[in-house]
Amino acid sequence: MYTIGDLARRTGVKIPTIRYYEQMGLLAAPERSEGNQRRYEKRELERLAFIRHARDLGLSIDAIRDLLALSEHPERPCGEADRIATEHLASVREKIARLKKLEQELERIVACHGNHTIGDCYVIRALADHSLCESEH
- Residue range 5-54, pLDDT digits in tens: 999 999 999 999 999 999 999 998 888 888 888 899 999 999 999 999 99
Neighbours of 101 (CB within 10 A): 15
User: What is the span of the domain harbouring residue 22?
Assistant: 4-76
- What was the pLDDT predicted at 50? 97
Torsion, Cα of 42, 55, 29, 45 (10° steps): 10
Which CATH number belongs to the domain containing residue 16 in this structure? 1.10.1660.10
Assess whether pLDDT exceeds 80 at residue 134. Answer: no
Residues 94 and 111 in one domain: yes
Of 57, 76, 95, the one marking the end of a domain is: 76
Residues 13 and 67 in one domain: yes
- Assess if residue 137 is contained within a domain: no
This prediction has a pTM of: 0.78
Render pLDDT for 49-74 as a digit per residue (tens, 0 to 9): 999 999 999 999 999 999 999 999 99
Residues 9 and 70 in one domain: yes
In angstroms, the CA 8 to CA 86 distance is 30
